[in-house]
């Protein structure tokens, strides 16, 4: 198979949801279809249990497991499917944001009884920012659910995307009888507690009287009325709109009961995008270019504290990646070759000789990579789309063991490379400030510094609201601002100026008083 064929058959995507909506269960069912796993429960352990948020052994164990489940690749119907796992725990939201930069599309799982929840909304913002096509799976249909039309309205409103149901449920909760698949024109009957794998019943017309034999006249009438309404309210499904990320097709099902999952997968394989062009600081890179290029979106470090081993996860953006071939590490300006890149098939890792656009490879690394690094065959370009986001929580970090300051500096540096948190250096007093998305990271950092770097830290409170990256064409105004707000100025790890606002009010005042400066909550805004 040539480059073009390899690209066309690849589907690299992420599944996102609010915790507990059923992401893990759905992932697992998809893997079962792909033959990547053989029993339910295999992916289950990939979750930080809600009860164990401060149990570090649990976190460490999870880190181990999550390497194996970070990328789950399998072959199905001649497609190469790559599912990228996204942590469900909201304290790791930034990991999820970054993972979403390496996917071509997304499946959103929504709990039918709960509707759109906070985390889903946040993640959808990232999809919207990147124009990522999304498909929606409304899960837990075996349980009482919100009114279906209300649910669809809620999705349109809250996720700010047009929807188009491609299946329609029959009954609700205890009366749930199945779905009519509008995409395949099939009826799928639901038997509670039974893992449904059978083919659907083909009914190209819902008005067919035979349908009544299966679901009864009353349900059939309701179904017909509702489908009439659906066809009246929603425009015909248009794949282009989906690919342009302006329309989300919606499926209903129950991941736990394996109901509606196969139809979702089949439609997904049919319409989801193969690897898409990638933005860089100099030009668009097309997947079918001859020359290889890719970027690192995730780093996993020190799985074994006795060996400083890290794995850099690289997404191939163009051309063919080959083992033992020299590539340019653009940031370091250095040629490097990799003797043991790994691919992730099912839950096994194995050394690969080649990889294609859309594939994710793991590169063993001794400290050369940072998140966002690009590899090419010589061209100096940097992939875009991996911004730093403003943290939500901030603390000063201090050395708690004066004999170990070197270890501490190294540990903090490496943990920041890994993207565990962000470090800012105050330009006012030179102190180091750690910013995170969730409180859990502070504990993770402290724990890992101690166990992996033999260093001790302590935190001191600092009251900050947001970190803002700035842009201005008015150098005089910017200089004036930095001088006046010297107390609140810091540098991020790339040496960029950051304004650390201590309240929403302070930021608002800054915006009003310095109209020539743009303040951004992410580091990439062009
Ligand atoms: P997450 O990864 O999005 O956090 O969700 P996960 O798949 O772990 O599912 C959360 C809970 O919802 C699990 O129950 C799971 O069994 C259940 N679930 C998933 N899909 C369905 C469905 O279609 N119908 C129903 N009724 N439940 C579903 P749990 O009790 O938290 O975990 P467990 O004890 O079953 O492992």
Task: Name the domain count of the chain.
Answer: 3
180 CA to middle of ligand 1, Å? 24
22 CA to middle of ligand 1, Å? 5
Ligand 1 atom nearest to 259, measured from its CA: 23
Number of H helices, E strands in the chain: 14, 31
Residue 98 lies in a domain: no
**Which residues does a 6 A CB cutoff place in the pocket of ligand 1?**
17, 19-25, 44, 88, 139-140, 142-143, 254-257
234 and 309 both lie in a single domain: no
Strands 310-318 vs 360-365: parallel, antiparallel or unpaired: antiparallel
Ligand 1 atom nearest to 21, measured from its CA: 3
CATH code for position 259: 3.40.50.300
Nearest CA to ligand 1 atom 10: 20
111 CA to middle of ligand 1, Å? 10
17 CA to middle of ligand 1, Å? 12
CATH code for position 516: 3.30.70.3280
* Category of 78 on φ-ψ map: left (φ > 0), alpha (ψ -120 to 50) or beta: left
Nearest CA to ligand 1 atom 32: 20
Residue 372 lies in a domain: yes
150 CA to middle of ligand 1, Å? 23
Q: Distance (Å, rounded) from C-alpha 388 to C-alpha 98?
A: 9
Domain closes at, from 271, 297, 332: 271
Residue 250 lies in a domain: yes
Nearest CA to ligand 1 atom 16: 256
26 CA to middle of ligand 1, Å? 9
- From residue 196, how far is each of 43, 182, 263, 265, 522 by CA, in Å? 20, 19, 12, 14, 45
Residue 84 lies in a domain: no
215 and 299 both lie in a single domain: no
pLDDT tens sequence across 29-81 = 898 887 766 665 555 554 444 443 445 556 655 655 555 567 888 899 999 99
368 and 516 both lie in a single domain: no
Ligand 1 atom nearest to 88, measured from its CA: 4
Q: Among 20, 43, 89, 195, which is best to mutate for testing ligand 1, by the most ligand atoms less than 8 A from CB?
A: 20
How many CA atoms are closer than 13 Å to the CA of 112, on its beta-carbon side?
Answer: 25
Q: Which two tokens mark 155?
A: 């999705």
Task: Give me the pLDDT at residue 187, please.
Answer: 87
Residue 210 lies in a domain: yes
53 CA to middle of ligand 1, Å? 19
250 CA to middle of ligand 1, Å? 20
Residue 508 lies in a domain: yes
Q: Which two tokens mark 117?
A: 């929840």
Task: Give me the pLDDT at residue 264, please.
Answer: 94
Burial class (CB in 10 A: 0-12, 13-18, 19+), 210: exposed
60 CA to middle of ligand 1, Å? 23
212 and 308 both lie in a single domain: no
Q: Which two tokens mark 329?
A: 């590490």
Q: Which two tokens mark 11?
A: 């589907």
144 CA to middle of ligand 1, Å? 15
- From residue 251, how far is each of 109, 119, 268, 441 by CA, in Å? 10, 20, 11, 35
Q: Distance (Å, rounded) from C-alpha 417 to C-alpha 301?
A: 10
232 and 316 both lie in a single domain: no
Q: Among 17, 21, 22, which is best to mutate for testing ligand 1, by the most ligand atoms less than 8 A from CB?
A: 22
Decide: helix, strand or coil at residue 98. Answer: helix
Q: Distance (Å, rounded) from C-alpha 262 to C-alpha 270?
A: 12
Q: Among 42, 254, 256, 261, which is best to mutate for testing ligand 1, by the most ligand atoms less than 8 A from CB?
A: 256
Q: Which residues contact 25 (CB under 8 A, 6 or more apart)?
A: 139, 255, 256
Nearest CA to ligand 1 atom 11: 20
Q: Which two tokens mark 386?
A: 């991996």
CB atoms within 10 A of CB 269: 15
139 CA to middle of ligand 1, Å? 10
* Category of 425 on φ-ψ map: left (φ > 0), alpha (ψ -120 to 50) or beta: beta
Residue ranges of E strands in 308-357 = 310-318, 321-322, 327-329, 334-336, 342-345, 348-351, 354-355
116 CA to middle of ligand 1, Å? 16
231 CA to middle of ligand 1, Å? 32
199 and 346 both lie in a single domain: no
Q: Which two tokens mark 137?
A: 């799976």
Nearest CA to ligand 1 atom 21: 256
Domain closes at, from 255, 271, 287: 271
215 and 141 both lie in a single domain: yes
Residue 37 lies in a domain: yes
Ligand 1 atom nearest to 25, measured from its CA: 7
Low-confidence ranges of the chain (pLDDT < 50): 46-54
The pTM of the full predicted model, rounded to 2 decimals, is: 0.86
Report which secondary-structure segment, H or E, holds 458: strand 457-461
pLDDT tens sequence across 266-296 = 999 999 999 999 999 999 999 999 999 999 9
Ligand 1 atom nearest to 27, measured from its CA: 7
Nearest CA to ligand 1 atom 7: 22
362 and 399 both lie in a single domain: no
Ligand 1 atom nearest to 257, measured from its CA: 23
Residue 73 lies in a domain: no
Domain, as residue range, for 350: 278-376
Nearest CA to ligand 1 atom 33: 44
CB atoms within 10 A of CB 392: 17
Domain closes at, from 271, 289, 316: 271
Q: Which two tokens mark 249?
A: 């097709």
Q: Distance (Å, rounded) from C-alpha 83 to C-alpha 31?
A: 9
421 and 438 both lie in a single domain: yes
Decide: helix, strand or coil at residue 167. Answer: strand
175 and 137 both lie in a single domain: yes
pLDDT tens sequence across 462-498 = 999 999 999 999 999 999 999 999 999 999 988 999 9
419 CA to middle of ligand 1, Å? 29
355 and 485 both lie in a single domain: no
303 and 195 both lie in a single domain: no
Q: Distance (Å, rounded) from C-alpha 36 to C-alpha 365?
A: 27
Task: Give me the pLDDT at residue 92, please.
Answer: 67
């Amino acid at each position: 198979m040539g480059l073009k064929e390899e690209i066309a058959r690849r589907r690299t995507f992420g599944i996102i949801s609010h915790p507990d909506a059923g992401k893990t269960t759905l992932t697992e069912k998809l893997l079962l279809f792909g033959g990547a796993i053989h029993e339910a429960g295999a992916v289950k352990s990939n979750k930080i249990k809600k009860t164990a948020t401060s149990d570090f052994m649990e976190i460490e164990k999870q880190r181990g497991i999550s390497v194996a489940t970070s990328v789950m690749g399998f072959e199905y119907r001649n497609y190469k499917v790559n599912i990228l796992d996204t942590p469900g725990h909201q304290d790791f939201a930034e990991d999820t944001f970054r993972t979403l930069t390496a996917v071509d599309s997304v499946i959103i799982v929504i709990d039918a009884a709960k509707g759109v929840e906070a985390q889903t909304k946040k993640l959808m913002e990232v999809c919207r920012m990147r124009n990522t096509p999304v498909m929606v799976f409304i899960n837990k249909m075996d349980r009482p659910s919100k009114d279906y039309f209300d649910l669809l309205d809620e999705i349109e409103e809250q996720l700010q995307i047009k929807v188009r149901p491609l299946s329609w449920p029959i009954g609700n909760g205890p009366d749930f009888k199945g779905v009519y698949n509008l995409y395949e024109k099939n009826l799928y009957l639901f038997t509670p507690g039974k893992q449904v794998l059978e083919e659907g019943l083909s009914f190209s017309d819902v008005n067919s009287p035979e349908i009544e034999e299966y679901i009864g006249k009353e349900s059939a009438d309701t179904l017909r009325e509702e489908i009439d309404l659906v066809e009246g309210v929603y425009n015909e499904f248009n794949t282009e709109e989906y690919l342009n990320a302006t329309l989300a097709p919606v499926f209903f099902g129950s991941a736990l009961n394996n109901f509606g999952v196969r139809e979702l997968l089949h439609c997904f394989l049919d319409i989801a995008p193969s690897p898409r062009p990638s933005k860089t600081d100099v030009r668009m890179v097309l997947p079918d270019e001859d020359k290889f290029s890719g970027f690192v979106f995730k780093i996993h470090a020190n799985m074994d504290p006795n060996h400083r081993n890290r794995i850099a996860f690289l997404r191939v953006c163009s051309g063919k990646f080959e083992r033992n071939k020299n590539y340019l590490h653009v940031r370091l300006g250095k040629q490097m070759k990799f003797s043991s890149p790994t691919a992730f098939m099912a839950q096994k890792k194995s050394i690969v000789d080649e990889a294609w656009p859309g594939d994710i490879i793991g590169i063993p690394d001794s400290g050369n990579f940072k998140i966002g690094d690009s590899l090419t065959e010589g061209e100096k370009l940097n992939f875009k789309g991996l911004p730093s986001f403003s943290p939500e929580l901030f603390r000063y970090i201090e050395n708690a063991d004066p004999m170990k300051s070197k270890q501490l500096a190294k540990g903090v540096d490496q943990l920041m490379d890994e993207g565990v948190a962000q470090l800012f250096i105050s330009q006012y007093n030179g102190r180091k400030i750690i910013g995170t998305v969730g409180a859990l990271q502070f504990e993770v950092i402290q724990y890992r510094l101690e166990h992996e770097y033999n260093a001790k830290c302590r935190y001191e409170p600092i009251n900050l609201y947001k970190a803002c990256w700035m842009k201005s064409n008015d150098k005089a105004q910017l200089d004036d601002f930095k001088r006046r707000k010297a107390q609140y100025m810091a540098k991020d790890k790339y040496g960029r100026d950051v304004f650390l606002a201590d309240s929403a009010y302070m930021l608002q005042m800054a915006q009003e008083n310095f109209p020539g400066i743009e303040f951004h909550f992410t580091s990439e805004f062009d």
